[in-house]
Amino acid sequence: MGSFCLLRTRFLLRPRIPRTPSTVMQRKYSLDVSAKLLRSQGYIDGRWISAATTFPVLDPATGEQIAQVADCGPAEAKQAVDAAYKAFNTWKQQTAKERSALLRRWYELLVQHKDELARLITFECGKPVSEALGEVVYSASFLEWFSEEARRCYGDVVPSPFRDRKILLLKQPVGVASIITPWNFPSAMITRKVGAALAAGCTVVVKPAEDTPLSALALAQLADQAGIPAGVFNVVPCSRAKTPAVGEVLCTDPLVAKVSFTGSTATGKILLKLAADTVKKVSMELGGNAPFIVFDSADVDKAVAGAMGSKFRNAGQTCVCSNRFLVQSGIHDAFMEKLALAMDSQLRMGHGSEPGVTQGPLINTRAAEKVAHQVQDAVSLGARVLRGGKRGQGSFMEPTLLADVTTEMLCTKEETFGPLLPVIRFNTEKEALAIANAANVGLAGYFFSQDVSQIWRVAEALEVGMVGVNEGLLSAVEASFGGVKQSGLGSEGSKYGIEEYLDVKYMCFGGLEA
């Protein structure tokens, strides 16, 4: 464990986070998944299709190739859009009950194959298998939820001011939806969007992240087994080189009515511009820079537990990860001591398939380099490394705790997307809110307090779309997910998620006898 030397209310800690086990880069890890679920072709109009070339999918922990996947291009993307448009004309005519039953069957198949799906996630994106299993359950829950919501797309009958007519508001599916998803939740980010779209009566074309196409293709296999009709669910995998061209088709084709994207704010702005020419409906779940505030009245142990879950889940690679930690002066030293000890005892790096591992690799070496750069920048400006701070082998980065952090450092200005926990000391509630709200994004925010009046004040004042009060993990299928400012447009999940795939049509039924 780390040792502390208290001196004038400041303390020094010996970094004790273990370095990346050298055996990870040397061992051979086997992806034990049935051939039926380990797909390498695109899925268009109910058929598995090849492309002229392929691209490699790598295990980020070892750098070893685990598959070669069809590198689809604009032609395949257009083919998928056409198939989805054709299927939309029949899918929208199915009753809500019929769509509900198919989504329910798809959900059941995910649960049935959860162990294999989790292994796919671990090998293509690196997260520990326990977290990968959690993602599969979370992913399946969106199909379950929207299978139920499919039968609740209620319209309205509005009292008319005229005796000879009736006013009705009808809910109708928007049409073909392009679904562009990230690598950090390669299964759940698809089902959260697709579940809502299919429940509403839309058809979809999915473009998964180039790092993690295998989970998307496994979902396609299970959708086919569930009886989802041809053309309703299409998957177009492609390499990083072909992503701009494929994305352009999916955002500009006149047959596409809706674009839903999860990813960086910079990419989201590009897609918004592409979709603007044909005035498509859009949903954007973009970047965050979540504050995590610990007030003097907080329960320190609960705050530490919340910080551990919020920061180190998926090695810090989630859009709602806490990025800026603000701790009030009166509780600062106790919080830092307990947090450092928790990092010592709870975090273990390694390949995600190994028992007991809590910290897998980052998605690639570029991601690890970014975190290391932020650490170097902070140290150059006066921050102190209390735990970790070093690059591991390959894509690994030590979980890192920084003290004496200021708002001038890169780690507080940029979304890190890695296991870096920088702590800013503050004195007043007003000061903390000013720092928290200074960002141009606002996805999630967290704070710990036992002062009821303060809880109401801060929850309302934080400029974010989601607030965790005395809780570091807030995602739930029943709750809306979305941000404010440059963190995006629209909501996903909850009863509101399906509204993103529906148009409201006003019908005036006149000529009635009074």
Residue 372 CA to residue 80 CA, distance in Å, equals: 40
- State yes or no: is 210 an active-site residue: no
Distances (CA, A) of 162 to 41, 167, 514: 58, 10, 9
Residue 511 CA to residue 513 CA, distance in Å, equals: 7
Cβ partners under 8 Å of residue 90, min gap 6: 229
Question: Which of the residues 76, 135, 210, 285 is marked catalytic?
Answer: 285
Question: Which of the residues 319, 398, 411, 492 is marked catalytic?
Answer: 319
Q: Return phi, psi of residue 425, to 5°.
A: -85, 135
Residue 419 CA to residue 316 CA, distance in Å, equals: 5
Q: Is 16 exposed, middle or buried (0-12, 13-18, 19+ CB in 10 A)?
A: middle
Distances (CA, A) of 268 to 68, 142, 183, 275, 487: 28, 23, 15, 10, 9
**Helix (H), strand (E) at residue 324:** strand 322-328
Residue 170: strand pairing partners: 505
Q: Of 302, 261, 305, 307, whose CA–CA distance to 281 is shortest?
A: 261
- State yes or no: is 478 an active-site residue: no
Residue 355: strand pairing partners: none
Cα 181 to chain centroid distance, Å, stands at 8
Q: Of 247, 323, 199, whose CA–CA distance to 72 is shortest?
A: 247
Distances (CA, A) of 116 to 82, 113, 219, 313, 399: 32, 6, 12, 21, 28
Which residues form the catalytic set? 285, 319
